[in-house]
Structure 1
Amino acid sequence: MDLVELLQQAQRLTNETKMDTEMPGVERTMSQVLQATQELHSRVTQTGTNDLQAHILLGSKGVDLPRLTQKLETLSARQSFEPLDPVTDTDVQGYLKNERENAILSVIEETNRSIFECVNRQKWRCVYAEWGEDKEALLNALVGPSQQDFPGVQRQMVPTSMADEPTPFTRMTAIQQLYAKHITAYNESVIQGTQHPKLVSTLSKLAADSFDDPQVSEMWSVLEFMSAVSQVTRSNDPIKNRQSPEFVQQARTYLELRYKTYMNRVIEKNLALARRGGIPDVYHLVSSYVAVTFQKPQSLYGLLDVNNGRPLWPLVYYSLRSGDMGAAIRYLKESGTCPDLVKLMTLQKMGSNDTSTAKLEGQLKLEYSSNMNDCTDSYKRAVFVIMLACDTHDSHGELLSSIDDFLWIQLSTLRVEGKRDYNNDQLTYSDLQMLILEKYGENYFNAREKAPLYFQVLTLTGQFESALEFLARTEINRPHAVHMAIALNELAMLGSPRSISEPLLSSESNDPKPMKRLNLVRLAIMYAKCFEQTDTEQALQYYYLLRDFKCEDGINALLSCASDLIVENCDAKMLELVFGVEDEHNSFRRSGGIIEKFHTADCDKYLLADMVGDELSKRSNYESAIALFFIAGQLEKVVRLVCSLLSQVVHQPAREGSIRERLGVITARLDTALVERKKDVDPHLIVTYTMLAQLMEFFDHYHAGASGLAAEIVTQNHIIPTSPLEVDECVINLKYMGPEVIKVLPDVLLASMNIVYEEYVNIRGTTGSGSVYGDDSKSDNKDSVLAHLRGRAKALTNLAACVSYRMPATTNQRLVQLEILMH
């Protein structure tokens, strides 16, 4: 190609690329084209190919990307998710705006959090489900090899053996079984009327001998000691009985005995320092204990008086702490100090409450208020506070080494409500109880970890019910709490609410604060429900302890609990266990059974069986109710239920295992019972039952194909007319029967009409004798027989129209249809 051809070709290309628009052509040199190409390349490589593709894509869809970018840049998330600017108190508009935006933000935040939690739960649920499927697949894969896979391997069978006396399955723990054994023995002694020890003493001895738990044994010992109060009257309310000074003194005595035991242990560990000697009295015990306790010189700092080389007031204090006021008087007399205090101690020991005692006590209180505020001897202050029952706000922290010491000082400074001196701030029994239960409470005593300690504090302050309710909260202590409550109730020392439907712990308006009442019935039922299915006899033993409680309807709590137990587990085994075995000669008598042991004026097995039968009938468990009514001897209730059931199934064909077949057994037993006790049942009910029994036999023949026997039954009972003239008589007879018979009447009419129609078809299709109404009938008698059958059919339709019962539409339609077919 020469240059001329190349020029022509370039001109032709130029002409082809020219556009019709009037835009001027751009002429660029090669250097300018190269420079523009380099600028475009640098711009594309800087923004990236992704941005370029995004520009191209959005531009093809009509989106102005630069303008959209400017709009996005103007958006600010500050108004939605950043903290709001504070506003002044007077800016109402700003305040309302901030509140509105705060509400919106809180809703958004709460929604986000809930969505996140929901998604998280759903995630873990799916994870756990997948893990479960994987574990199931792995376990299913762990199949033992077969003998064919390993023919050379001989399997070795491991011999198994059963115990000679296998124990049955039980839900009771070993501790519960020990308790139940003693409860059973106690109930037997009560039923037989023999002499029996206090239940609280028996169970306390059981805890000490059989339970390897010193804390449980100590709880029982505290309860036993506090319940050993002589002046307890069963006629009065236990809550009011417990407000007497005897309970305060009993708690003090227990703490004093326990402290003497503690002092003996300290002395036995330091016999060389104690030098006790051989006289076993409190005087020498305290002297030896003080010698051991105050052996170091720094321990005597602040103590004022000395007696025989030992500090005086610790001797007096520990004598009172041990419960021996005589020893305290002896120490004071030997030292010759405070003769007025010695005189007051002597009068209080003698139990004198005359005016001279009150006058002397007043003088000592004045002396205490004027001289004891700056006393450095804490033991001396404590002795005066205990003897004068004053300055109850003094905590005596220097002397308290345990909760027993605190409780003993509080009990020692109590004053009876009636004898309270209102001129001074004195502590009463109710104040102390409120201090322990409400002010300090469970958190102060760390009751969750130190349950026995908190139980003892409540028990020693006379709050048995609150202590037992607290103990019953934990499963490990619930058996002890239940039996402690039972033991106190047998002593008439447990405060119970008026109604057994009250909560576990409640109070009444006239009760002294903060005393509570414990619902023993609810507690015992809650405890026995755990094992009543496996250990029914033991559960009934616990229910027998509730025989003195009455339900709101006046029913014995024992009967109510036993009834609920049988209703929930009503089978032949349970009935035999509770009511015994049925007598062969009398179906209404049963011998044996647990409930016979608990026979009282308000509880016997016949009354219980009647209650259970009524409850089962309310729950539509009619067959079990019938069995219970047979046991209770309530023959009329049996007949009513049998009639109700027969009216529902009497028209059905007999099938093996059906309720109709079971009712056949019941009716046979009922017929035998009615022979002897027919007078105990309403005659109208007897008529209804007899008719249903006949109809049951009628349908048996009808379904078996014995039409003649079936027709004979209804004809003899005059329930179905044989001619239109008998319709009125049948209507009158039906009025004397119960609604159960009327309920079955549509099926009886249909069956009877089918029998008549079948007879009609057979006779009309024969030329000779084909009727049951005469073997010598000839062809000339055939029309009269057919007319008689048509009359019977007409009588059936007339009866269906005359009975005051709304027949089903299908029944009337079928009756009329068959009658028409016979014409």
Structure 2
Amino acid sequence: MSADLSSLLTASKELTSHLSRPDLPSVNLSLDQIEALSRRLASRQPGSSTDADRATYLLAQAHVDVSSLNNSIAHLNPATTFSPLQPLQDTDAAGYLRVAHEQNLISTIEEGRKETQEQFYRVLEERSQRDWETKKKRVFEELGGKVGAAVDLRASTHHRGNLMSSVGPNLSLQMQSKMMAYDRVVLDLNAARLRGVSYPVVHAFIDTSLSVSSDPRNTQITQMFHILSKITGEPPALPPIEHAGAHILNTPLFERKFARTYLGDPDSRDAVALRQTIARGAREALEEQYWDVLERTVHSRPSEARLGGDPSVANKVRAFLLVRYYHGGEWEDKIELVAGQPVWARLFYLVRTGHAVEALGEAVQYQQAIENREPSFVTHFRTWVESVDRRLPKAQRDHLQAVYNAHMLHSSTVDPFKLALYKLMGKIEPGRRSVPLVTGTTEDWLWVQLAMVDEEESGGLRALAEVLLGYGERHFEGPPGQAGSRRGVWASVLLMCGQLAVHLVTPRMLHLTICLSRRCDQLKPEA
């Protein structure tokens, strides 16, 4: 076998012995180069007569005169156009360098691709690890204390590991007291379940969240419990066990009473009623929360409020308006005065704080002055307040729409509170969701959206939920970790629009999950 290979090598060298020049070095070509040059040489060889005959036949079918073309080509001088066909020499350094250059480019591109891919996965891993450590720190802060010095938060490499295994037994006394306070509520809930009676779990968690800490950052979780209590209609206390059978709230229907409807057909009548209940409960919760803000504002600035000895709701709203919009002896520019009073602002804030009946009383008190500027307003307002679902008949809504289009839509001086009242009563332009001076905070904006929800038109609460989900968490809470970010607002938004399957990242959110599972049965464990 070796003799055959040696003879082949000798014969191949003799084939090019007449071409070699001793004064020039030889060039060794690789197999890839030899194949490429061979194919290029074969492509330059002239075709056989059979190929020419076939070409002539095919061109004749296409009405091409081959003989005339041959004559035309014969008169061309190809010497200056095409390089003459010459045998390849072993000294073709240009061809060798060209192939080597192409191979270098390919290998460089491949190496760059691999390095980029490795760097991407490395950065992704580092960022995931950093986010996990940040979330763990937030969990410990929510629990109310710091872990011991022996526990290094950055030591964990398991993103979904057991939380308590990474914390260890070194819990502070403050943290343990908070955990025990919430544990007592869960124990009482389990005891009530074993006895077969209902338990006001939402209000129990509200009381616990208020008692364990006075930190203002904990207000958001308390507000979420409050919203849930208004949505579910859970009473703050239940009758004694011996009288449980005589009270309808202690029947088995009180527990998970919304489960079948929420998880059933979303277009059924019960589902529509449930969405109306959710919107109404969330709106009432925001109204109660704002009333608390109003009272604290008035009490914190008594000299500006000038409350006096009248403790009525209308007088407190009047005092609040003095603090908020009356400066230097003058009202703000866009506040329209009716009979010398900011009647539109009074009516709006009475409605905003859940005192619609008192607002109707104010409207009746200033009815003559109001009717001189806005005829039929008090009549429409009375119908709207007395309506169970805050919905006017179509004729009255059309009238409000006409007034709105004629005098308010393109006006730059209209009182924003009058504009808001017309929008609320007529449910006008639900797509234009902001009103100056009215929707200045997230809670105000959400209240206006919930007050304008109409299950019979514009998609109702489901359409609002789609809009809010499109905004996303960062729109309401801001970038995580930055100053001014509001943790927990996004969970409240999801609650108020009926998207109760929230993402839980803190221990006290777990308690909210317990409330939802007991009252609504809407959170399912993820696989």
Please confirm whether the aligned pair reaches a TM-score higher than 0.5, indicating the same fold. yes
SS in 2 for 1:310: coil
Tell me how far 1:177 sits from its aligned partner. Answer: 4.3
Q: State which of 464, 479, 483 in structure 2 corresponds to 1:432.
A: 464
Tell me how far 1:312 sits from its aligned partner. Answer: 2.8
Q: State which of 178, 182, 205 in structure 2 corresponds to 1:179.
A: 182
Question: Which residue matches 1:575?
Answer: none
Question: Which residue matches 2:10?
Answer: none
Q: Distance in 2 between matches of 1:385 and 1:206?
A: 39
Q: Distance in 2 between matches of 1:480 and 1:301?
A: 45
Structure 1 residue identity aligned to 2:185: H
Q: State which of 383, 391, 411 in structure 1 corresponds to 2:450.
A: 411
Structure 2 residue identity aligned to 1:301: D
Paired residues of 1:392 and 1:427 also in contact (CA < 8 A): no
SS in 2 for 1:276: coil
SS in 2 for 1:464: coil
Paired residues of 2:209 and 2:221 also in contact (CA < 8 A): no
Assess, with a 3 A threshold, how the Cα gap between structure 1 residues 461 and 64 changes in structure 2: closer, same or farther.
farther
- 1:581-620 superposed Cα distances (whole Å, 9 cap, x missing partner): xxxxxxxxxxxxxxxxxxxxxxxxxxxxxxxxxxxxxxxx
Q: State which of 393, 398, 417 in structure 2 corresponds to 1:362.
A: 398
Question: Which residue matches 2:509?
Answer: 481
Question: Which residue matches 1:226?
Answer: 228
Q: TM-score scaled by structure 2?
A: 0.57
> Gaps (5+ residues) in structure 1?
1-62, 83-99, 119-168, 421-425, 496-517, 524-823
Q: Distance in 1 between matches of 2:422 and 2:118?
A: 68
SS in 2 for 1:244: helix
Q: Distance in 1 between matches of 2:207 and 2:391?
A: 46
- 1:273-298 superposed Cα distances (whole Å, 9 cap, x missing partner): 22222222221112112222222378
Is 1:256 the equivalent of 2:294?
no
Structure 2 residue identity aligned to 1:402: T
Structure 2 residue identity aligned to 1:396: V
Paired residues of 2:439 and 2:448 also in contact (CA < 8 A): no
Assess, with a 3 A threshold, how the Cα gap between structure 1 residues 76 and 222 changes in structure 2: closer, same or farther.
same
Structure 2 residue identity aligned to 1:199: V
Assess, with a 3 A threshold, how the Cα gap between structure 1 residues 171 and 434 changes in structure 2: closer, same or farther.
farther
Question: Which residue matches 1:321?
Answer: 352
Equivalent positions of 1:707-786 (< 5 A) are none
Q: State which of 302, 313, 319 in structure 2 corresponds to 1:282.
A: 313
Paired residues of 1:80 and 1:105 also in contact (CA < 8 A): no
- 1:229-263 superposed Cα distances (whole Å, 9 cap, x missing partner): 34973573335387332221211111111112222
Paired residues of 2:301 and 2:323 also in contact (CA < 8 A): yes
Question: Which residue matches 2:209?
Answer: 207
Paired residues of 1:264 and 1:285 also in contact (CA < 8 A): yes
Tell me how far 1:411 sits from its aligned partner. Answer: 0.9
SS in 2 for 1:307: coil
Tell me how far 1:272 sits from its aligned partner. Answer: 2.0
Paired residues of 2:203 and 2:225 also in contact (CA < 8 A): no
Paired residues of 2:384 and 2:391 also in contact (CA < 8 A): no
Is 1:390 the equivalent of 2:428?
yes
Is 1:351 the equivalent of 2:387?
yes
- 1:444-466 superposed Cα distances (whole Å, 9 cap, x missing partner): 12374533111122222222212
- 1:47-70 superposed Cα distances (whole Å, 9 cap, x missing partner): xxxxxxxxxxxxxxxx989999xx
Question: Which residue matches 2:326?
Answer: 295
Structure with greater Cα Rg: 1
Tell me how far 1:405 sits from its aligned partner. Answer: 0.8
Question: Which residue matches 1:245?
Answer: 276
Assess, with a 3 A threshold, how the Cα gap between structure 1 residues 292 and 65 changes in structure 2: closer, same or farther.
farther
Paired residues of 1:485 and 1:494 also in contact (CA < 8 A): no
Q: Distance in 2 between matches of 1:457 and 1:356?
A: 27
Tell me how far 1:410 sits from its aligned partner. Answer: 0.6
Equivalent positions of 1:693-708 (< 5 A) are none
Q: Distance in 2 between matches of 1:242 and 1:258?
A: 24
Paired residues of 1:211 and 1:217 also in contact (CA < 8 A): no
Tell me how far 1:413 sits from its aligned partner. Answer: 1.0
Paired residues of 1:266 and 1:289 also in contact (CA < 8 A): yes
Q: Distance in 1 between matches of 2:119 and 2:452?
A: 61
Paired residues of 1:465 and 1:494 also in contact (CA < 8 A): no
- 1:201-233 superposed Cα distances (whole Å, 9 cap, x missing partner): 222212211245444453234324423434973
Structure 2 residue identity aligned to 1:269: S
Tell me how far 1:402 sits from its aligned partner. Answer: 0.8
Q: State which of 364, 369, 380 in structure 1 corresponds to 2:418.
A: 380
Q: State which of 317, 336, 341 in structure 1 corresponds to 2:370.
A: 336
Paired residues of 1:282 and 1:322 also in contact (CA < 8 A): no
Q: Which has the higher contact order (CA 8 A, sep 6+)?
A: 2
Question: Which residue matches 1:109?
Answer: 112
Assess, with a 3 A threshold, how the Cα gap between structure 1 residues 362 and 266 changes in structure 2: closer, same or farther.
same
> Gaps (5+ residues) in structure 2?
1-21, 28-90, 122-167, 235-253, 264-270
Question: Which residue matches 1:93?
Answer: none
Paired residues of 1:307 and 1:331 also in contact (CA < 8 A): no
Q: Distance in 2 between matches of 1:113 and 1:353?
A: 60
Assess, with a 3 A threshold, how the Cα gap between structure 1 residues 324 and 447 changes in structure 2: closer, same or farther.
farther
Q: Distance in 2 between matches of 1:294 and 1:81?
A: 77
Q: Distance in 2 between matches of 1:115 and 1:324?
A: 62
Question: Which residue matches 1:490?
Answer: 518
Assess, with a 3 A threshold, how the Cα gap between structure 1 residues 441 and 243 changes in structure 2: closer, same or farther.
farther
SS in 1 for 2:429: coil
Assess, with a 3 A threshold, how the Cα gap between structure 1 residues 111 and 435 changes in structure 2: closer, same or farther.
closer
SS in 2 for 1:206: helix
- 1:166-188 superposed Cα distances (whole Å, 9 cap, x missing partner): xxx85886244443343234323
Q: TM-score scaled by structure 1?
A: 0.38
Assess, with a 3 A threshold, how the Cα gap between structure 1 residues 325 and 79 changes in structure 2: closer, same or farther.
farther
Assess, with a 3 A threshold, how the Cα gap between structure 1 residues 184 and 295 changes in structure 2: closer, same or farther.
closer
Q: Distance in 2 between matches of 1:115 and 1:351?
A: 65
SS in 1 for 2:211: helix
- 1:417-463 superposed Cα distances (whole Å, 9 cap, x missing partner): xx33xxxxx462111111112x1011212374533111122222222
Q: Distance in 1 between matches of 2:210 and 2:392?
A: 48
Tell me how far 1:485 sits from its aligned partner. Answer: 1.5
Tell me how far 1:115 sits from its aligned partner. Answer: 9.5
Paired residues of 1:433 and 1:461 also in contact (CA < 8 A): yes
Assess, with a 3 A threshold, how the Cα gap between structure 1 residues 371 and 196 changes in structure 2: closer, same or farther.
closer
Q: Distance in 2 between matches of 1:212 and 1:77?
A: 78
Assess, with a 3 A threshold, how the Cα gap between structure 1 residues 480 and 371 changes in structure 2: closer, same or farther.
same
Assess, with a 3 A threshold, how the Cα gap between structure 1 residues 320 and 213 changes in structure 2: closer, same or farther.
same
Tell me how far 1:75 sits from its aligned partner. Answer: 9.4
Paired residues of 2:392 and 2:425 also in contact (CA < 8 A): no
Structure 1 residue identity aligned to 2:229: S
Q: Distance in 1 between matches of 2:392 and 2:110?
A: 77
- 1:717-773 superposed Cα distances (whole Å, 9 cap, x missing partner): xxxxxxxxxxxxxxxxxxxxxxxxxxxxxxxxxxxxxxxxxxxxxxxxxxxxxxxxx
Tell me how far 1:117 sits from its aligned partner. Answer: 11
Q: Distance in 2 between matches of 1:356 and 1:255?
A: 23
Tell me how far 1:391 sits from its aligned partner. Answer: 1.2
Question: Which residue matches 2:242?
Answer: none
Paired residues of 2:305 and 2:323 also in contact (CA < 8 A): yes
Q: Distance in 2 between matches of 1:355 and 1:486?
A: 35
Tell me how far 1:404 sits from its aligned partner. Answer: 0.5
Paired residues of 1:204 and 1:217 also in contact (CA < 8 A): no
Provide the identity percentage: 18
Equivalent positions of 1:367-766 (< 5 A) are 367-375=403-411, 376-377=413-414, 378-394=416-432, 395-416=434-455, 419-420=456-457, 426=458, 428-437=460-469, 439-445=470-476, 446=478, 448-449=480-481, 450-466=486-502, 469=503, 472=504, 474=505, 477=506, 479-491=507-519, 493-495=520-522, 518-520=523-525
Structure 1 residue identity aligned to 2:521: L
